[in-house]
Amino acid sequence: MSLKGKNILLGVCGSIAAYKIASLIRLLVKAEAEVQVVMTPEATQFITPLTLSTLSKKPVFVDYYDPKTGEWNNHVHLALKADLLLVAPASANTLAKFAHGLCDNLLTACYLSAKCPVYLAPAMDLDMWKHPATRQNIEKLQAHGNVLIPPGEGELASGLVGEGRLAEPEDIFAFLKSSLTVALPLSGKKALVTAGPTYEAIDPVRFIGNHSSGKMGYAIAKALARLGAEVTLISGPTDLATPPSVYRVDVRSAQQMFEAASAHFGDSDIVVMSAAVADYTPQEVADQKIKKKAEDFNITLKKTVDILGTLGQQKTARQTLVGFALETNNELENAQNKLIRKNADFIVLNSMQDKGAGFATDTNKVTVLQKDGKVIPFDLKSKDDVARDICDLIVQHQFRQ
C-alpha cells in the first residue's frame, strides 16, 4: 500500500527517543505522505518544533492556540483530516492518558477526536514497560482498536538493557505500509466513481449544465481510497482538488463521461455513479458563437446515453453498482423504479425537499434503497460522513459476494 498522498497526523511525546522522529519524517515525506506533527509540551524539551517543521514542511502544533495571535489549533479538524494517527514515541504517561480518556493537551484532544486508524509506538524504560499498570493500559488501548508497533530490545537511556526501546524509524515505516495493506477492507479492489456535472455544448461559448459541485462524488472517492481501494474518478468540470491516492479522468460532456466510464467499468469491482449527467444534449452544436437576433430561439435536443442503465446491463455478480437519484416528488417510488430499471445494487436518494441536501452544499441527507428491498434513511450529515455511510454498505455488499 502506498503512503503517497496519505494525511499522517504524527504525535510526538516527551522521550529521549524523540530524536529518531526526524529520520521517520524524512522517510514519510520521501514516500510523498503529508505529515502534520503535533507535539506534547514535554516533547519540545527533547527535539525542537523548528526541526520537525523544517522536515515536514508544515507548522508544528504544540498548544491549543497561539498565545500571540489567539489563533486556535483545531484538534477536531486535525483529527478528522488524518488518514492515520501515529504516536511515536508514545510515552507511558501519554498511553495512560489515552487509555483513560484524559485530555489535557492538544495531542490527547486529537486522539479523542480521531476516527482514523491509530498506531502507537511506545518508548520507555524496561521497568516502566513491564509494569502492570502499563500492561493494563496497552491491553485497554488494543481492545479499543489501536494498533501497537512493538518496541525493540537494546540498551536504554537508563543504562538497562531490555525491551522498551522505540522501534527504529525504518521499522515503523515498514510496519505502517504492511499494516495498511493488510488491514484495509477494500485492499485489492478497484473502484470507479463518477462525479460532478456534464456540460453539453450549444456553441463554442455556451452550454447546458447543472448546479452539481461534485462534492459528494469526490467525498466517496476519497472514502473508498481510505478503505484501500484503487480508485478511478471520472469528473465533470469542478474546482475541487483530486483526493489523495485517486486517479482522475477529466471529461466535459455526457458522451465523454460514458466513454470513460465504459473503458474502466469491466475492471472495476465497485462502481458509484454519482455524477449529475445531462439527460439531453443539443442535436447540433454551432461552430461559431450564436448571435442574439430573433426574439425567440429554439434548440433541438436529443437524449444522452443512459450511462447507469447501460452499465447496469453489463454488471457481473462480483460488482457492486451504486446509482444516485435526485427527486422532487414521489421520491421513494421513483427511486425504487430506478433501482430496478438500472439493475443497480443501491440507489442513493436525495430529495430537493430536504434542507441542507442536494447540490453545492457541504451537507447531505440521503435514503439508501437496496436491491433486497431494504430502505435505510440517514440523518443530515457532512458529505464526508455520508460517503462513509455509503462505503460501509459497499463493503458489506462486496463481502457478501
Query: pLDDT (tens digit, 9 = 90+) per residue, 51-80?
Result: 999 999 999 999 988 777 778 888 889 999
Q: Is 259 exposed, middle or buried (0-12, 13-18, 19+ CB in 10 A)?
A: middle
Mean pLDDT is lowest, of 132-141, 215-224, 231-240, 287-296, for 287-296
d(CA 50, CA 56) in angstroms, rounded, equals 10
Give the pLDDT band of residue 152 (cuts 50, 70, 90): confident
Short-list 115, 95, 127, CA closest to 14: 95
H helix intervals, 114-253: 126-130, 132-143, 169-183, 215-226
Residues 26-35, mean pLDDT to the nearest whole number = 94
Q: Is 234 exposed, middle or buried (0-12, 13-18, 19+ CB in 10 A)?
A: buried
d(CA 165, CA 281) in angstroms, rounded, equals 66
Residues 180-199, mean pLDDT to the nearest whole number = 87
Residue bearing cell 484503487: 230
Element (H, E) at 13: none
Terminal Cα-to-Cα distance of the chain (whole angstroms): 24
C-alpha cell at 61: 502544533
Question: Under a CB-based contact definition with an 8 Å cutoff, are residues 300 and 282 in contact?
Answer: yes
Short-list 222, 226, 218, 242, CA closest to 186: 226
The rounded mean pLDDT for the chain is: 91
Give the pLDDT band of residue 193 (cuts 50, 70, 90): very high
pLDDT value of position 44? 97
pLDDT value of position 270? 98
Q: CA torsion angle for 132, 39, 120, 153 (degrees, to 10)?
A: -70
The phi, psi pair for 119, rounded to 5°, reads -115, 130
Residues 5-32, mean pLDDT to the nearest whole number = 95
Residues 375-387, mean pLDDT to the nearest whole number = 93
The phi, psi pair for 187, rounded to 5°, reads -60, 135
pLDDT value of position 185? 87
User: What is the identity of the amino acid at 158?
Assistant: S
How many other C-beta atoms lie within 10 A of the C-beta of residue 374? 10
Residues 37-43, mean pLDDT to the nearest whole number = 97
The catalytic site residues sit at 210
Mean pLDDT is lowest, of 48-62, 99-113, 327-341, for 327-341
pLDDT value of position 39? 97
H helix intervals, 306-375: 307-314, 331-341
Give the pLDDT band of residue 290 (cuts 50, 70, 90): confident
pLDDT value of position 163? 76
Give the pLDDT band of residue 369 (cuts 50, 70, 90): very high
* Helix (H/G/I), strand (E/B), else coil: 381: strand
pLDDT value of position 180? 72
What whole-number percentage of the chain has pLDDT above 70?
96
Mean pLDDT is lowest, of 77-86, 182-191, 251-260, 268-277, for 182-191
H helix intervals, 215-268: 215-226, 254-265
d(CA 52, CA 58) in angstroms, rounded, equals 8
pLDDT value of position 182? 62
pLDDT value of position 1? 55
Domains of the chain: 7-182 (3.40.50.1950), 190-398 (3.40.50.10300)
pTM summary value: 0.64
d(CA 327, CA 330) in angstroms, rounded, equals 7
Short-list 304, 252, 239, CA closest to 278: 304
Question: Under a CB-based contact definition with an 8 Å cutoff, are residues 12 and 40 in contact?
Answer: yes
How many other C-beta atoms lie within 10 A of the C-beta of residue 245? 22
User: What is the identity of the amino acid at 257?
Assistant: M
Residues 262-279, mean pLDDT to the nearest whole number = 96
pLDDT value of position 154? 73
Is 3's pLDDT higher than 90?
A: no
* Helix (H/G/I), strand (E/B), else coil: 272: strand
